[in-house]
Every structure is written in C-alpha cells, then in structure tokens.
Amino acid sequence: MTTYEAFNRPQRFLRLRQFSGKAVSILVTLVGLLLLTFTMGRLLPADPVLAVTGSEVDKATYERVYNELGLGEPIWRQFASYIGRMLTGDMGQSLTTGRPVAQDLLTVFPATIELALVAMLCGTLIGVPLGIVAAVNRGKLIDHIARIVGLAGHSIPIFWLGLMALFVFYAKLRWVGASGRIDILNEGLVPPITGLMLLDTALQGEWDVFRDALSHIILPGAILGYYSVAYISRMTRSFMLEQLGQEYIISARAKGVSRRQMIWSHAFKNIRVQLLTVIALTFGGLLDGAVLIETVFGWPGLGQYLTRGLKMNDMNVVMGAVLLIGIVFLTINIISDKLYRILDPRTR
C-alpha cells in the first residue's frame, strides 16, 4: 500500500502538471491569437460603421453608430471588454448579418465541416493509393502520370476547375446541384440535428433529401479533395520510398513475402503514423482554405463568412471565426497526438 502510494503520488502530480501546463499553453495561444487579430483589425483602413449604415449615411446616424460600436474607446479597452464579454459566452453581434456571432457560427461551421470531411475523404482515397502506386513504380511511366495528376489538382485554379465541373456535371449531364447545400424544393423539409446535412437526412430516413444533399456536396467536395491530392500523394510517395529502401523490406522479399504483402502489411503499416499527421493538417487547411470553392458553389460556409467579415471590418465575426479555427487546429493536434500513441507503440 505504502509503496504503491509513494510510487503513484508523484506520477499523478506529474500528470496534473502536464495537463495544467498544456491547458495554460492552449489558453495563451488562443488569447495571443485573438490579440493579434484584434490589433490587425483595428489597423485596417476599412470602416466598420459603413458596414452597418451603407455609404450614403448622414452625420448624425454615423456618429450614433460609431459610439454604439464603442469605436471611440482606446484599443486596449475595446479588447479588454471584448474578452470580458467572451468569457460570459457572448461573442457579440455580426454587423453584416445582424445576428449573434455564436448563432452564425453554428450555421456556417457544420456546412464547412461537412464539406471538409467529404473533401478529406476524397483526397485520402485518391491521394494515398496514388502515392503508393507511384512509389512502387518509381521512375516508370505510371509514376510520372501520378505526379502530373496530383500536380494538376494543385496548380489548376480551383475556381476554374469548379466552373468547368459545373458545366459538365450540372449543365450538361444534370447529375448534380449547382449551388447551396440543398435544392430549394427540399428547403426546410428536414429539421437540423447536427447541422451536417448528410447525417441529418440519413438519421431521419429522408433518403430523397439525402440524395439531393449528396448531389450538392459531391462536386465541391471532390474538387476540394482533388486540390489536396497533390500534397497527400507526394508525401505518401516519399514516405513509402523511405520504407521500401529499408533492409527489413529487402530481407522480407528475400524470405519470399509476396509483393502485395510487402507493400500493405509491411511498408504501409509503418507510414500510417506519418500519414495521419499529413491528413490531419490537410483537414485543418481545408476548413479555412475553401473560400474560392465556397464562392463558386454558393456554399454557405465559414470561409465566405470570415472573408466577408474581414472585408467589411466586421471584427466580432473575424475574432469569432479565428478563435473557432484556432480551437479546431489545437483539437486536431491533440487528437493526432493521441492517435500517434495508439498506432505507434514506441511513443507510449
């Protein structure tokens, strides 16, 4: 008993210290992020008052709104009162939508998450096999083709690709929807549960609406995913090459292990951990990097919301969105750390 406690106490203490250290560093990161965003926003030349009033406003109205927004106060005080309100859960109101930012984020964020998930799925399903095939056939024609396919996705302007895809799959073939998350005829038929349209419709067994939602997300999702194929496939290729050059592979081959087994059971198993980081980071990038695709497809997501907020100097929106993206990035980091430990016994 005593030995156990003596052994366990410092261990628990260490855990607690680790945890609180991590919590503090997360908190500092987030506050720093907000401070940076806030200061930059105040230095921008855009005028938030005009976002509220329009440009043809008279003097009295302008000044009333200016004071309502608290713009007369010194910057540090504006920031302090923002943080104060934030701690009570109030992220302020958006100037451009007229709603509480928290409420807006609850509608735009699921749209973006859903799009990013579909994109990540597409990117991984194409990118990883492509990288493996390229690595196994290094220097051969198939390797070059894989490189070109991947690079094309990364270098063709995404809005052009989006419009071309719309032209083929929407205008000519009529396979998919053109804009928004759902057809206007299905609007409001399925009450939201999670905000993820595919999940909500599936949960409620509304398969017609599910198909409609799928037909709206598949094109922007696939194009966004294709964009990330280059990165994922190149990384997969180089991880694989590194493994394939290892001695254990050569001896496995010498022992008569089949080619397929060598690739999937030996080499691929060993690159899973590294791949996970790559995919997790790609996912984070897809969250805020989808502005162009969101614009082309009229997708009501976070990217458009944040960009408009920036343009109009709608600082509550910018701060709220940046904070959310920050939290998501940190969460992804923590989750991929944890998965590392599960997949790689050495890090346990």
Partner 1 sequence: MRYRLLAGLAAVALITGAGGAFAASPPNALVIGTNLGAIPALDPAAINARTVSEVVSNLYDNLVMVNPDDLTTIRPMLAEKWTISDDKRTITMTLRKDATFASGNPVTAEDAAWTIQRVIKMGAVGSTDIALWGFTKDNVDSLVTATDPQTLVIKLPEPVSTDLVLYSLAGASLGIIDKKTALANEKNGDLAQNWLKSNSAGSGPFKLTQWRPNDILLTDARADYWGGAPAMKRVVMRHVPESGNMRLQLDAGDIDVGQYMASGDIEALEAKGATIDPGPGLGFYYIAMNTQDPDLAKPKVREAFQHILDWKPLAATTMKYNGFPWQSIIPKGMAGAPTTEPTGHEYDPEKAKKLLAEAGYPNGLKKTLYPSSDALLKMAVALQDSARKAGVEFEIVPGEHTPDFRARKFQVLVGNSGTRLPDPFGTLVQYAYNPDNRDEAKLGGYYLWRTALEAPELLKLVDESKAETDPEKRKAIFQQVDKGYQALPPSLIITLQRTDPYVIKKGVTGYVGHPTWSTRWFDVKKN
Using alpha carbons, list the distances in angstroms from residue 208 to 185, 202, 204, 213, 215: 11, 10, 11, 9, 11
- Report the nearest approach of partner 1 to the CB of residue 101 (Å): 12
CA 60 remoteness from chain centre: 43
Q: Which of 109, 115, 158, 212 binds partner 1 (CB under 8 A)?
A: 212
Instruction: Give the span between the Cα atoms of 304 and 96, in whole angstroms.
Output: 12
Sign of CA dihedral 45, 323, 199, 150: positive
Chain centroid to Cα 292, Å, comes to 14
Q: Is 199 in the site for partner 1 (CB under 8 A)?
A: no
Report if residue 186 touches partner 1, rule: CB under 8 A: no
Q: Please report where in the chains the tokens 């206007």 appear, as a residue.
A: 184
180 lies in the site for partner 1, by CB under 8 A = yes
Of 54, 74, 157, 191, which one interacts with partner 1 (CB under 8 A)?
A: 54
Measured from the CB of residue 185, what is the shortest distance to partner 1 in angstroms? 7
Residue 283: C-alpha distances to residues 26, 115, 288, 328 (Å): 20, 10, 9, 10
Please select the residue that binds partner 1; options are 29, 137, 204, 295, rule is CB under 8 A: 295
| Residue 183 interacting with partner 1 (CB under 8 A) | yes
Q: Nearer to partner 1 by C-beta: 210 or 227?
A: 210
- In whole angstroms, how close is the CB of 263 to partner 1 at the nearest point? 12
Question: Distance (Å, rounded) from C-alpha 110 to C-alpha 101?
Answer: 14
Q: If we measure between CA atoms, which residue out of 224, 212, 133, 134 comes closest to residue 177?
A: 212
How far apart are CB 173 and partner 1 at their closest, in Å? 7
CB 151 within 8 A of CB 252: no
Site string for partner 1, 225-254 (x = CB under 8 A): ------------------------------
Cβ 264 to partner 1 shortest distance, Å: 8
CB of 296 to partner 1, least distance (A): 5
Q: Does 269 bind partner 1 (CB under 8 A)?
A: no
The Cα 291–Cα 116 span in angstroms is 12
Q: How far apart are CA 230 and CA 233, in angstroms?
A: 5
Q: Which of 94, 112, 316, 336 binds partner 1 (CB under 8 A)?
A: 94
* Site residues (vs partner 1, CB under 8 A): 45-47, 50-64, 94-99, 104, 107-108, 125, 159, 163, 166-167, 170-171, 173-180, 183-185, 187-188, 208, 211-212, 214-215, 218, 295-298, 300, 304-305, 308, 311-312
